Chains A and B, each alone.
Chain A
Amino acid sequence: MSLIDALEPLSCCPHIVVVIGKGGVGKTTVSILIAMELSRIGKTLLLSLDPAKHLARYLGLSGEDFKEVNNHLHVRQVSIEKEVRRLTSKYAELLQEILPSLAVLNLDNIVNAIKYTPGVEEEVLLSKISEALRSEYNYVVIDTPPTGVTLRTLALPKLYLTWLSKLIEIRERIVSLRYVIARTLGKSVDVRDKALLKLYDMREEFKLLDSVLCSDARASYVLVATPEPLPMYELKETYEFLKSNLGVKPRLLVLNKVLPDSIAFELGQQEMQKDFLKELGSFGISYAVIEHLRKPTENMSDIEALKTKIKVFKQ
């Protein structure tokens, strides 16, 4: 049984597979394995948002890059810093255009404030996910940054919708008052309001994003951990977050770098490893166990070698 057997049924288009886990547990490895399998049944994009850029190393990409591995598998490594820089300069130009006096006074302060504001990274990540949703691929596998950033990013659409609904409420009242005043005074008024239209557009975009991210049919979450206390703790935390904030259950849990019994025994980790495996089975979700390669995974041939070390338990 392969990893995608545990993910089925997979709707499209595109179906999003989000791979989440603590730094260093093998998210990129699992993402590549899943993307390779999915590319056999449909056009697949492997999108890495992980600042560690392991995907670039595995596939010989440089910086933010795009590569067609074959007709059905495309990979993209996103450089978040570059994206933040790009966005910042785009908005700096916009501000300069709207408020020219800023250019001679304090535009630099504003640009820096935008660049270093907490949350900008999450917003850039969300925009990349949103782009992927509008792509022509059947499947999009997302290799995410470490857990904290990913969970904050996934929570953003709901937060945006709350802000947008409040702003829309105020703007609608402004537009209706403007109309009433103009009509009462016998003046002509354009009922179309650019700001309100922009708010409606944004609401639609975030509604779509939220509906896909919260849909079992359109998105699958794969949680990855290694048989160690902290990665397992994060896996459980992520499971709870997905359930309580997005109302979804992960489709697959993966325990990576599992040591063979003899080695685990020698290292005194056999009992702990067994406990984690038992715990994984107790979620009532399909899970996979990937045996340790006995060397770090560094390139595509290591990933190929891992394919023989995967055991999937479908529930």
Chain B
Amino acid sequence: MLNTLRKAVSELVKFAKGVKQAVLERSVSAIEEEFIELESAYLLLVLGPLVGVKTITPLLSLELLEPLSSELKILEGRALKGEDVLADLVAALGGEW
């Protein structure tokens, strides 16, 4: 009996935790959306000059590439890998697929 009660309480706690997590995740989804959009905008500003989009100068863009190497590797995985890798990367930032 005691064991059943313990199990029930434990399940209840798990359920409450799950609800809390769901509420938290829902509350940050809007922030996450802004985060993804901003990150895409930033990468577009930095990568743009290398695919002909005039945002900043190409040398400034190249100077800023190194600290973004991990983000670029993730993006590269999402890119189409056509003839123009950089253009694919930029497309992966939210362009038409």
Contact = CB atoms under 8 A, between A and B. Distances in A.
B93 interface: no
Given A167-B45, A174-B42, A105 B66 contact: no
A160 interface: yes
Contacts of B42: 167, 170-171, 174, 195
B28 A199 contact: no
B96 interface: no
Given A110-B86, A174-B39, A163 B72 contact: no
B69 interface: yes
Given A123-B57, A167-B45, A95 B65 contact: yes
B41 A198 contact: no
B28 A180 contact: yes
A282 interface: no
A193 B65 CA distance: 13
A195 to B, nearest CB: 4
A61 interface: no
B59 A185 contact: no
A252 B37 CA distance: 52
B38 interface: yes
B24 interface: yes
Nearest to B68: A195
Interface size class of B (residues with CB under 8 A): 35 or more
Interface string A82-104: 00000100010011011101100
B76 A195 contact: no
B31 A180 contact: yes
Contacts of A167: 42, 45-46, 56, 64
Interface of A: 87, 91, 94-95, 97-99, 101-102, 105-106, 109-110, 113-114, 117, 119-120, 123, 160, 163, 166-167, 170-171, 173-174, 177-178, 180-181, 184-186, 193-195, 197-199, 202
Given A113-B58, A198-B67, A202-B64, 8 more contacts: A98-B65, A110-B86, A113-B50, A114-B58, A177-B32, A185-B25, A194-B68, A195-B42
The 7 closest A-B pairs by CB, nearest first: A194-B67, A195-B67, A177-B35, A91-B62, A123-B59, A98-B69, A198-B67
Interface of B: 24-25, 27-28, 31-32, 34-35, 38-39, 41-42, 45-46, 49-50, 52, 56-60, 62-69, 72-73, 76, 81, 83-86, 89
